[in-house]
Amino acid sequence: MPLSLAKSTSETHQIKAIIFDMDGLLLDTETLSFESFVTTAKRYDIAVGIDHYQDMIGLNAATGIETLRRILPSNIDAVAFKNEWLDVYQELLAGDVLTKTGAHTFLARLHELNVPRAVATSSSGAKARRLLQKTGLMRFIQHVTGGDEVNAGKPAPDVYIDAAKKLGIAPKHCLAFEDSNNGATAALAAGMWVVQIPDLAPSNRLPNPPDFNICSSLEEAASLIGLSLDDHLETLTNIEPVQIRP
């Protein structure tokens, strides 16, 4: 079953692979990161909110530290703050990590259809593989590229270009799903079609189908390529896992 994005009733664009972001898109981890950011800031007697946090969404550790320096008062060491923030975040990740509604079903459906799929994330590759394994999503994913495994993190296109290369599919034939503005910028720069599903922060660009679409959920996003998730329960024990490769 070929997947496509429709620009009009007479023009469609065939999709050969799908590449997903992870945090805030497949996993409900962005809320944990924000919670740990607020907790750490309180220890420094700093009041922060989503307006302070949203510019860091989708950035890897190396890129995000520069944004953090602009947010924090000049007398606070950004590296020390970041390390403490990561410690709090890791404590939260050690507990239950929730998947986004529809994530299991969407990935399982693509697996059934033999659609090549990968994850391109700003998280480290090791962390991403661990969390995807923990939440049961890794069995549906063929490749993972972490933000520490490329030269430049999002909003640079490197993670998406690398993920497409691992799948053996040209970026122009890939559809990327993202929650963050930095991630959407990265995928568009890679030459992919992009569907943004905003999580903690709204999109900063207008829809421009088929190159760029905005949806409110994974279910709505799946419908853009002709898939319905309603008839696929998230009890997927009979589906064979894919061979996992980095």
Residues recognised as catalytic = 21, 23
Q: How far is CA 142 from CA 70, 231, 245, in A?
A: 37, 24, 6
